[in-house]
Amino acid sequence: MSSLSRRIQRRTVPTAPSFEDLHPLLARLYAARGVQSPEHLDLQFTSLHPPDGLKDVGAAAERVVKALAEQQQILFVGDFDADGATSTALGVSALRAFGAKHVRYLVPNRFEYGYGLTPEIVDLALASGARPDLLITVDNGISSVEGVAAANSVGIDVLVTDHHLPGRQLPEAEVILNPNQHGCSFPSKALAGVGVLFYLLLALRARLRERRWFEDEGIPEPNLAAYLDLVALGTVADVVPLDRNNRILVQGGLQRIRGAKGRPGVQALLDVAGRDPLHTVAADLGYAAGPRLNAAGRLDDMSLGIECLLAEDPREARRIALELDAMNRERQRIERGMEAEALAALTRLSIAEATAPPALVLYEPDWHQGVVGILASRLKDRFHRPVIAFADVGNGALKGSGRGIPGLHLRDLLDTVATRNPGLISRFGGHAMAAGLSLATAHFDAFREAFTEVVAETDAKLEAVVETDGLLDPEYYSLDVAELLRGSGPWGQHFPEPVFDGEFQVLSQRIVGEHHLKLNLACAGVLKPIDAIAFRVDTERWPDEHVERIHAVFRLEVNRYRGERRLQLLIEHLDAA
């Protein structure tokens, strides 16, 4: 929990629409999130936007049909995060089920080869196995102009599937699938990389049905809904907006996981994180399974994570998941050290919350390049500023990872810097809230000055604001309501989990687990004391025995322990009242 002072702002609630048999609290919460008709709550798989709205999806499907019919060599080139890993596992698994006999994947070490399809990765693809006839990028490729050109030069067709924002120049791929490319009328621009690939598979299956492929080949027609746990994990972990279409995909995946029909690897990732798959919600994918999957790409390469997702044997899946869990703990250890170093550096520069510049641009020579993104995220939360943290990658170069704040488009800011200062940035990419870039070490100070200047010119509000759903009526402090809210998602980016604020009397407070604050609270109108916990508090500030009342921002949680269920408040921000 950040110690940053925040202004609490309660969401505007339009007149709640009349929903038959809907709890009045849910009606209010849904209305505050823009739900105005019952159809917006229909998350049946049949309500998905059809694939034919995705520009060139037909041409992409036909190219894969050709690869299947001729049993060509197919190579997936993935990204090194959870979205890339789930996309890769989805593509390999599904095409094998469709009858592909020669399909494999390549996710090169990010520290050696960098991001996206590069000429070096094309060389690696040629050297590491049979020569590919078709190369399919997943969760990357839209900015890989040179890499696609390298593939074209040796006669490899490239099919780009991506969701990141295009730059000024598109790669000359055989086909590009990206809902954010110019001229694409697909209604949802929020698809994750794994969602884009899933839509390609929907279109592919339709083409194969028309050709009577499954009957002629004697192959059972795959049920693509069986892959929705992968789609849900990649979508939530990539923190894309959960518009209705993405909520349908995520809900379908959650239903499979809860019904014990998920892939062994997804089940194992949840299990080693201490989450019960039978009660999984979107937050468990984002905060438990996702980070463990990401750990492989952050500290080594993502192949281990992909192998976990591809595993058919539950014992093998658990073995790999335990390795990923150990990597995640090591990642956390490195991150804590880097965060302490960054805060010490800011202290030396006399940068505090109240005096922080419009942007924070940081670099230490010994920072781990796999963890600078998480460091940027932590500092962004603490200071409510856009943050870019850099790591040394050798040969006089730095790689940076940035995190943005609402009201600023991080990739557009980098584009402005690059336009004004030709040659300053070697390469960059990303989206509104996260971006990556490379530059020469000698350019660091100039970049920091240029980026800070561009941010200062915007009208973004640098005051930290936390939005809440207001006060919670006393009768709603109950286990039943907590269960109701937990199961009424999926909640996530742009469809936020319900968060309330209110005043409480502090009955007791103590530190548990080194830096978590455990409280017992009383609330006016609520008959029984309420347990609460605040994670990662400032232990120099809390506990404070002089504080008798607090104003807290919180979520209702179901605390399951040793077979028992209890109501608990998960506190996200607190101040003395």
245: pLDDT strictly greater than 90: yes
Q: Helix H segments across 287-371?
A: 290-299, 303-310, 314-348
Indicate if 363 and 279 belong to the same structural domain: no
Indicate if 32 and 128 belong to the same structural domain: no
Domain limit, last residue, from 463, 487, 505? 463
Indicate if 247 and 382 belong to the same structural domain: no
Q: Which residues pair with 521 in a beta bridge?
A: 506, 530
Classified as helix, coil or strand, 470 is coil
Do 32 and 468 touch, CB atoms closer than 8 A?
Answer: no
Rounded Cα gap, residues 489 and 307, in angstroms: 30
State the pTM of this model. Answer: 0.90
Which residue, 382, 521, 440, 489, is CA-closest to 29? Answer: 489
Q: Which residues pair with 391 in a beta bridge?
A: 399
Indicate if 257 and 317 belong to the same structural domain: yes
Q: Which residues pair with 558 in a beta bridge?
A: 567
462: pLDDT strictly greater than 80: no
Domain limit, last residue, from 463, 482, 508? 463
pLDDT digits (tens, 9 = 90+) for 541-569: 899 999 999 999 999 999 987 778 899 99
Per-residue pLDDT, 378: 86
Rounded Cα gap, residues 69 and 250, in angstroms: 32
Token pair belonging to 403 = 């995190």
332 located within any domain = no
Domain residue limits at 240: 45-325
Indicate if 402 and 421 belong to the same structural domain: yes
pLDDT digits (tens, 9 = 90+) for 101-150: 999 999 877 667 767 899 999 999 999 888 999 999 999 999 899 999 99
Do 318 and 309 touch, CB atoms closer than 8 A?
Answer: no
Count other Cβ atoms within 10 Å, centred on residue 473: 13
Indicate if 297 and 422 belong to the same structural domain: no
Mean residue pLDDT across the chain: 92
Indicate if 353 and 398 belong to the same structural domain: yes
Indicate if 519 and 372 belong to the same structural domain: no
Token pair belonging to 531 = 């347990």
Rounded Cα gap, residues 82 and 229, in angstroms: 13
Q: Say which amino acid occupies 540.
A: E
pLDDT digits (tens, 9 = 90+) for 518-532: 999 999 999 999 999
pLDDT digits (tens, 9 = 90+) for 290-301: 999 988 888 877
Domain limit, last residue, from 408, 436, 463? 463
Classified as helix, coil or strand, 373 is helix
Phi and psi torsions of 484, nearest 5°: -60, -50
